[in-house]
Amino acid sequence: MPFAKRIVEPQLLCRHQIPNDEGLLFEDLCAISNVVLSRTLRQLSDLARHACSLFQELENDIINTNQRVWVLQNKIGQIQQTASALDPKKEAVLLCSFGLVEI
């Protein structure tokens, strides 16, 4: 099970109360909606930054895996070339407990 590297949680957008004075209610609601909108945009920006960081880590992991696979492929190719160059009639064969015997 993978371990969590980041915890991303939504924050409360607006906790402002509408004042009870004689001020216009619409202006207060408009100000509150503007605050909520700006905080929502900030959270979306933070979320995009986290997503970018995650994709960068994923890309780095994929590049590292690709390099390791390429090295292994080269090693396998070298082993195949070495194995195909061997002549089974001329090579020493190990027989049980009798040791090496030339065939």
Q: Stretch 15-29: mean pLDDT, rounded?
A: 57
- For residue 4, is pLDDT > 90? no
Measured CA to CA in angstroms, residue 63 lies from 18, 23, 32, 95 at distances of: 53, 60, 46, 45
Mean pLDDT value across the chain: 78
pLDDT tens-digit series, residues 61-94: 999 999 999 999 999 999 999 888 877 777 666 6
> Domain residue spans in the chain?
28-98
Q: Stretch 12-35: mean pLDDT, rounded?
A: 63
Q: Stretch 13-31: mean pLDDT, rounded?
A: 59
Distance CA 52, CA 4 (A): 16
> What is the model's pLDDT at position 25?
47
Cβ neighbours of residue 82 under 8 Å, at least 6 residues apart?
A: none
pTM for the complete prediction?
A: 0.56
Q: How far is CA 90 from the centre of its chain?
A: 50
Contact 13, 36 (CB under 8 A): yes
Contact 28, 18 (CB under 8 A): yes
